[in-house]
């Protein structure tokens, strides 16, 4: 079965041009002017833009934490992704079993109900000789990225010496280390003091995780990467100083890259001080308007390469069911921390919001060109994570992951439109112009306006190539 998408404006990371796209089977087979194909189903895209499906490089699904679990699993989260124009997500494997292999195998069982294509990063949260010897085998499992943490003392954190060793293993195996940059020692001290002083409210989540910890930890890790001659990718950048450090390191030729997330572009500690401030609790925390502005400069100016979401949703009130696909669902969430900010599950919904929110606030406001928008949300993540040009591209031979984007569509956005399985949306009531109209996954239309045509299990695991480029 062939589909011919006619007269749309193709938007890639490099250019925009009017053309027709022919999809045969799961692939784009031709792009050109006035294509005529007998028997093809024709989709008229006049007045619409044609984007490569979004690639979200930072998503958490079905992740147990804080005695509960994040409220989207691999089906509900990928369905929400699709409604927002994202057709590939990269999740994280928790290193919860004795070996990397067992941890990956267990993750595969949970992930196989995904409705869009998916891959995973490995959380490297323990390190010894035996684990080091197993790292090269991850390549055979299609996993070429290792996330390390300088925070979460006694749980997820690796000491600097082990991060340095991990960087060298990654270098020797064409893999990429990703860094969660915060200062675990400072957080431990400030949190203990805050609790003794009787501070319970969400704003203390941010006050005990200061921006300087992110800044010094980022620079420390860049120095380790330079010494190891290895690439490094800084996840969820949230502080102006991180952008400064990334720029400083890149200007000196270091192989370092960065990602931010929409929440760090819009929200501040003031949101944590609202009566419903727990909705904004995530780690690292949202910071100040000056941080928002510097991060915007970073994404617009090229210092930052990608925008992911760090999607890790919880209910605001997990005692009150919502209807999801006609059935009541309630999952314990932010209310767990009503009396203690350290018990608020730290994560936010966002996988479906990313493209609609960034289109209006970035492209609509003139901060980003449509091409830069595609680079940040699709092409660059596909390149950095070894999926390009199968993903992130509109060229013959690419997977036909295509978003027909209506740049004129106006909506009042919020929980009713977002499809994430939770009871709130950070962008409630925002007026947006520009939304996905149809979304294709490998040639199949899975979202058509408000209609869901996708299915659990239709997503494919994407093994990723080692040796991906540093952008």
How far is the CA of 109 from the CAs of 114, 122, 158, 420, in angstroms? 11, 15, 27, 22
Of 84, 65, 188, the closest CA to residue 123 belongs to 65
* Least Å from the CB of residue 58 to ligand DUC: 7
| Residues between 75 and 104 that touch Zn ion (CB under 5 A) | none
| Residues between 273 and 292 that touch ligand DUC (CB under 6 A) | 283
For Zn ion, give the closer residue by CB, 180 or 279: 180
| Residues between 66 and 85 that touch ligand DUC (CB under 6 A) | none
Of 46, 80, 7, 173, the closest CA to residue 417 belongs to 80
**Backbone dihedral angles phi then psi of residue 423, each to the nearest 5 degrees:** -100, 10
Position among 203, 310, 406, 437 found at the interface with Zn ion (CB under 5 A):
310
| Bridge partners, 259 (sequence order) | 306
End-to-end Cα separation, the chain, in angstroms? 37
Rama region for 269: left / alpha / beta (φ>0; ψ in -120 to 50; rest): alpha
The CA distance from 141 to 360, in Å, is 38
How far is the CA of 285 from the CAs of 42, 211, 268, in angstroms? 47, 9, 8
263 interface partner picked from Zn ion, ligand DUC, none, CB below 5 to 8 A per type: none
| Residues between 145 and 184 that touch Zn ion (CB under 5 A) | 180
| 347 touches ligand DUC (CB under 6 A) | yes
Rama region for 187: left / alpha / beta (φ>0; ψ in -120 to 50; rest): alpha
State the binding string over 2-41 for ligand DUC (x if CB under 6 A, else -). Answer: ----------------------------------------
Position among 74, 236, 255, 372 found at the interface with ligand DUC (CB under 6 A):
236
Position among 346, 361, 378, 380 found at the interface with ligand DUC (CB under 6 A):
346
State the binding string over 162-191 for ligand DUC (x if CB under 6 A, else -). Answer: ------------------x-----------
Q: Angle, to 10 degrees, between the axis of helix 240-251 and the axis of helix 211-228?
A: 20
Which DSSP helix (H) or strand (E) runs through 64?
A: strand 64-65
For Zn ion, give the closer residue by CB, 59 or 439: 59
Position among 312, 351, 370, 400 found at the interface with ligand DUC (CB under 6 A):
312
For ligand DUC, give the closer residue by CB, 21 or 237: 237
Q: Which residues bind ligand DUC (CB under 6 A)?
A: 60, 180, 235-236, 283, 310, 312, 346-347
Q: Which residues bind Zn ion (CB under 5 A)?
A: 180, 310
């Amino acid at each position: 079965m062939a589909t011919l998408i006619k007269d749309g404006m193709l938007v890639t990371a490099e250019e925009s041009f009017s053309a027709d796209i022919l999809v045969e089977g799961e692939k784009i087979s031709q792009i050109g002017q006035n294509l005529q194909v007998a028997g093809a189903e024709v989709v008229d895209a006049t007045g619409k833009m044609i984007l490569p499906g979004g690639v979200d490089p930072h998503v958490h699904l079905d992740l147990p934490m804080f005695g509960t679990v994040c409220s989207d699993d691999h089906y509900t989260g990928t369905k929400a992704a699709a409604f927002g124009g994202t057709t590939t997500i990269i999740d994280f494997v928790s290193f919860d079993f004795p070996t990397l292999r067992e941890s990956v195998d267990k993750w595969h069982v949970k992930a196989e109900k995904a409705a869009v294509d998916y891959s995973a990063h490995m959380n490297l949260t323990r390190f010894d000789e035996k684990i080091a010897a197993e790292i090269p085998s991850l390549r055979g499992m299609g996993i070429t990225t290792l996330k390390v943490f300088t925070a979460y003392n006694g749980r997820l954190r690796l000491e600097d010496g082990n991060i340095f060793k991990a960087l060298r293993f990654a270098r020797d195996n064409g893999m990429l280390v990703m860094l969660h940059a915060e200062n675990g020692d400072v957080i431990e001290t400030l949190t203990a003091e805050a609790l003794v002083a009787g501070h319970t409210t969400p704003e203390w989540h941010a006050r005990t995780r200061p921006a300087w910890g992110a800044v010094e930890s980022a620079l420390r890790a860049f120095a380790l990467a330079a010494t190891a001659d290895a690439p490094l990718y800084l996840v969820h950048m949230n502080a102006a100083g991180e952008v400064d450090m990334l720029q400083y390191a890149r200007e000196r030729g270091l192989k370092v890259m960065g990602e931010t997330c929409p929440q760090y572009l819009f929200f501040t500690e003031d949101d944590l001080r609202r009566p419903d401030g727990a909705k904004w609790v995530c780690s690292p925390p949202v910071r100040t308007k000056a941080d928002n502005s510097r991060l915007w400069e970073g994404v617009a100016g090229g210092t930052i390469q990608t925008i992911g979401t760090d999607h890790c949703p919880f209910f605001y009130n997990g005692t009150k069911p919502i209807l999801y696909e006609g059935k009541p669902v309630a999952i314990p969430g932010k209310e767990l921390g009503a009396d203690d900010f350290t018990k608020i599950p730290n994560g936010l919904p966002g996988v479906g919001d990313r493209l609609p929110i960034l289109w209006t606030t970035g492209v609509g406001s003139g901060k980003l060109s449509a091409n830069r928008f595609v680079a940040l949300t699709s092409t660059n993540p596909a390149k950095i994570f070894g999926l390009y040009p199968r993903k992130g591209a509109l060229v013959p031979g690419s997977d036909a992951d295509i978003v027909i984007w209506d740049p004129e569509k106006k909506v009042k956005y919020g929980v009713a439109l977002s499809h994430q399985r939770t009871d709130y949306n950070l962008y409630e009531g925002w007026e947006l112009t520009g939304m996905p109209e149809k979304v294709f996954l490998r040639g199949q239309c899975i979202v058509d306006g408000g209609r869901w045509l996708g299915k659990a299990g239709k997503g494919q695991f994407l093994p990723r190539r080692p040796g991906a480029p540093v952008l």
